[in-house]
Amino acid sequence: MIRKTLAVFAVTTGLAGTALAADPDLLVFDWSGYEDPGFYQAYIEKHGDGPSFAFFGDDDEAFQKLASGFRADVAHPCSQMVSKYRDRGLIEPWDTSRIPAYGDINPAYIDSPIFKDEAGAWFIPADIGQTGVAYNTEKVPESDVESLDVFLDPKYAGRIALPDNTDDIWALALLATGISDWTKITEEDIDKAGKWLRKAHQNVRAYWADGAELSQLMATGEVLISWAWNETPTTLVAEGHPVAFKRDTREGYSTWFCGYVNLKDGPGSEDKAYDFINAWLAPETAEYIVTEWGYGHSNQKAMDAIPAETLAEVGLDPVDAPALAQVPMDNALRDRMVEEFEKIKAGF
């Protein structure tokens, strides 16, 4: 049974960049909401408190802040950002001999020299998610969301929300224009997807920054359709709202995975950084993130122990549709996508 609500976390964390103080020996730079103690119970049991947290709103903000000199011990980027952290010299490899569950990680999430090489593991995958269409089942017939072009439908003008997030927004636009592999895109592909996004922009009521914000917009009925993470429909259904999650549109859905990097010259305890990672990879954390958040976990051994019906309940079961994986891509093209998205939001 899914019972978690994000509203309390939104109140607790406040604005991105705000710090939440606890154990002063470990500072984790993370997405708002991930201070949830269900993710690191073993750390609390060992040290009596959770780590301290500082928060960011999206991957680009996190990278820019760290590149500008902000100091923390551990950060939580998604996979497509890891090469940028490495190129800028912001991180150092983890010693996997100190991470007993590393061998239980699904190999698909570490099978890249960007994530692991002879120096060690530069990235510890943790949370796994999907982005699809969340919609109000009382106001929107399922036939209307068979295609991603629902975001262009004038019938829903002012009742649509899209993510204020470079990777998710371009995953949507690329899928909508026929592309499900962004490692092979060209400037022409970005131009075509950008034109689609400009049309969708005309219907947008809000660009959401986190799941709690989107949940509120959909719970009140202000927004009827959104490009959303698993978290939003999982939370809203648990609260009794008429919301469904559709991944098998004609054009498909997107998949992503995020994890933790070891920041170079962190001010806190290296030993506690490993304790934090080991707590995150525990089977109890995997069960918690699935049942309470609706996300998957990188520990495949732990995921295999979760009943198939539970995975289906939160939208983690297989579907027959194209999937755009948010994996590392050409950084120059991604920078171009960042710039273009800012223009689109500004109306240009």
pLDDT per position as a tens digit, 4-26 = 333 333 333 334 445 566 899 99
Among candidates 74, 76, 75, 115, which has minimal Cα distance to 96? 115
Q: What is the reported pLDDT for 315?
A: 82
- Say how far apart CA 285 and CA 277 lie, in whole Å: 11
DSSP label at residue 33: T
Instruction: Give φ, ψ of 33 to 5 degrees.
Output: 105, -25
CB 142 within 8 A of CB 246: yes
Map out the domains of the chain with their CATH numbers. 7-128+258-313 (3.40.190.10), 129-254+318-345 (3.40.190.10)
Label residues 11-45 b or e (16+ Cβ within 10 Å = b). Answer: eebeebbeebebbebbbbbbbbbbbbeebbebbbe
Among candidates 281, 270, 278, which has minimal Cα distance to 25? 270
Percent of the chain scored above 70 by pLDDT? 94
CB 292 within 8 A of CB 234: no
Q: Does the pLDDT of residue 276 top 60, yes or no? A: yes
- Residue 218: both structure tokens together: 């959909």
Q: What is the reported pLDDT for 168?
A: 97
Q: What is the reported pLDDT for 210?
A: 86
Q: Could you give the count of Cα atoms lying within 13 Å of 87 in the half-sphere of its Cβ?
A: 10
Q: What is the reported pLDDT for 19?
A: 58
The three-class DSSP label of residue 77 is coil
**What residues pair up with 213 in beta bridges, in sequence order?**
none
pLDDT tens per residue across span 149-206: 999 999 999 999 999 999 999 999 999 999 999 999 999 999 999 999 999 999 999 9
The three-class DSSP label of residue 207 is strand
Q: What is the reported pLDDT for 1?
A: 34
**What residues pair up with 134 in beta bridges, in sequence order?**
226, 245
- Say how far apart CA 193 and CA 348 lie, in whole Å: 14
- Residue 73: both structure tokens together: 């011990």
Residues 206, 175, 109: CA angle, nearest 5 degrees: 100
Banded model confidence at residue 313, pLDDT cuts 50, 70, 90: confident
Label residues 257-270 b or e (16+ Cβ within 10 Å = b). Answer: bbbbbbbeebebbe
Instruction: Give φ, ψ of 6 to 5 degrees.
Output: -90, -10
Among candidates 19, 81, 24, which has minimal Cα distance to 47? 24
CB 151 within 8 A of CB 157: no
pLDDT tens per residue across span 212-271: 899 999 999 999 999 999 989 989 999 999 999 999 999 999 999 999 999 999 999 999
- Say how far apart CA 64 and CA 68 lie, in whole Å: 6
Among candidates 206, 209, 201, 230, which has minimal Cα distance to 220? 206
Q: Does the pLDDT of residue 83 top 70, yes or no? A: yes
Banded model confidence at residue 314, pLDDT cuts 50, 70, 90: confident
Among candidates 259, 268, 258, 264, which has minimal Cα distance to 91? 264
Q: Does the pLDDT of residue 90 top 70, yes or no? A: yes
pLDDT tens per residue across span 102-155: 999 999 999 999 999 999 999 999 999 999 999 999 999 999 999 999 999 999
- Residue 81: both structure tokens together: 């950002």
Q: Are strands 225-229 and 160-163 parallel, antiparallel or unpaired?
A: parallel
Rounded to an integer, the average pLDDT of 57-69 is 95
Amino acid at 182: W
Q: Nearest 10 degrees: CA dihedral of 270, 276, 282, 286?
A: -140
Number of C-beta neighbours around residue 191 at 10 A: 11
